[in-house]
Structure 1
Amino acid sequence: MASKSQVPDYELEETIELTTAEQVRAISDPLRTTILGLLHERAATVTELAAAVKRPKSTVAHHVNVLTAAGILRVVRTRRVRAIEERYYGRAARMFYVGLGRRANGVDLPPDFNDFEVAAEESTAAYDAGLMRSFIRHARIPEEQAAEFWERVDQVIHEFDQLPRSGDTVYGFTVGLYPMPDYPTLPPLDS
């Protein structure tokens, strides 16, 4: 078993690329992304997850099965309780990512797969309460520089994922880098 200081409390891969539409659809559901978020803290049973999300155990079991079938969750340990073997589920990786483009393995990704849409919905209450921290910037840079910048951002994402879970408030963290071909630019300076 993993040490108490490790988040989560089980061994997992650092990253896994989602290569099928089934995998992307599996993480596109808001309840399933909540389950994945909870499992960043520690492994949990379906009963514990159902209590945390205040949904029926059968509903949560269905969503856990979808994530498990897609290779996104796995059983990380079991425990015998009376005559029943209780399964503790954990993430297969700390971070999942979809490669560039709107296709995975030649299959179109779901049109509603957009983390920014989820973040916009989640952040509305914080914005209304004056607690939202955000910014947007634009820079005209070459693709190579954008890729190098994203590598540094990826390090910050991993750092955020590994923070010990404590405190009373859950914070969302959204980041993105996207091309804007129609954004206005200044003409070159006259020499």
Structure 2
Amino acid sequence: MADNPPGYELADRMALTEPAQVRAIGHPLRTTILQLLHERAATVTELAAAVNRPKSTVAHHVDVLARNGLLQVVRTRKVRAIEERFYGRTARMFTVSAERSPTDEEPTGDFNDFEVAARESAAAFENGELWGFIRHARISEDQASEFWRRMAELVEEFDRLPRSGETVYGFAIGVYPTEYPTLPAEEG
């Protein structure tokens, strides 16, 4: 598997257990910032230029991510007597953990990877450039967990691909329980 190190130390995975962390990644601009930082560490100025937003707006969102442990300052440099900070991710992959104490507030309903993927993929669908599958299978919870583990490995492989080419591709993957109909047991 190709490994594309961002030039600083970071964990492979980080489980988000606090509702504030989940809310932090639920904002589309913050998700974009995190994705940009897969390539390398960047300054607020560089991030603002990449997303075509004011530096003050990007600085606010970087601050939210840093306060919640998703970003860190990985190096600094002096630019005309001002210390410029380079921000990097704290982990290659963030997962939302279901392990919270009963007193924790529930995460807001504004973070759904598939909602984001549906929004992002609309233009690709219209242009005939969307590749996708949806399948349903009646399986045990243990089988679903094992399948999820294997999917997480594929996501890690995708995350580690060297950044190249002109197009940024999205990759959505998941497994979830449904109310999909099933056939009754065969008679006799």
TM-score range normalised by the length of the shorter chain:
over 0.9
**Matched residue, 1:187:** 184
Letter in 1 for 2:25: I
> Highest relative contact order (Cα 8 Å, sep 6+), 1 or 2?
2
- 1:189 is displaced (CA, Å) by 2.8
- 1:7 is displaced (CA, Å) by 3.2
**Matched residue, 2:81:** 83
Aligned counterparts of 2:128 and 2:10: Cα–Cα separation in 1: 37
- 1:158 is displaced (CA, Å) by 0.1
Aligned counterparts of 2:8 and 2:49: Cα–Cα separation in 1: 21
**Matched residue, 1:94:** 92
1:22-171 alignment runs, 5 A limit = 22-100=20-98, 106-171=104-169
**Matched residue, 1:10:** 8
Asked if structure 2 preserves the Cα contact closer than 8 Å seen for 1:9 and 1:41, the reply is no
Asked if structure 1 preserves the Cα contact closer than 8 Å seen for 2:17 and 2:99, the reply is no
Gaps of 5+ in 2: none
Secondary structure of 1:76's counterpart equals strand
Q: Provide the identity percentage.
A: 63
**Matched residue, 1:176:** 174
RMSD of equivalent CA atoms: 1.7
**Alignment size in residue pairs:** 186
Cα 1:65–1:160 change in 2 (3 A) is same
Aligned counterparts of 1:137 and 1:101: Cα–Cα separation in 2: 28
Aligned counterparts of 1:190 and 1:136: Cα–Cα separation in 2: 29
TM-score normalised by length of structure 2? 0.94
Cα 1:104–1:23 change in 2 (3 A) is farther
Asked if structure 2 preserves the Cα contact closer than 8 Å seen for 1:103 and 1:109, the reply is no
Gaps of 5+ in 1: none
Secondary structure of 1:153's counterpart equals helix
- 1:104 is displaced (CA, Å) by 8.7
Larger deviation, residues 162-171 vs 77-86: 77-86
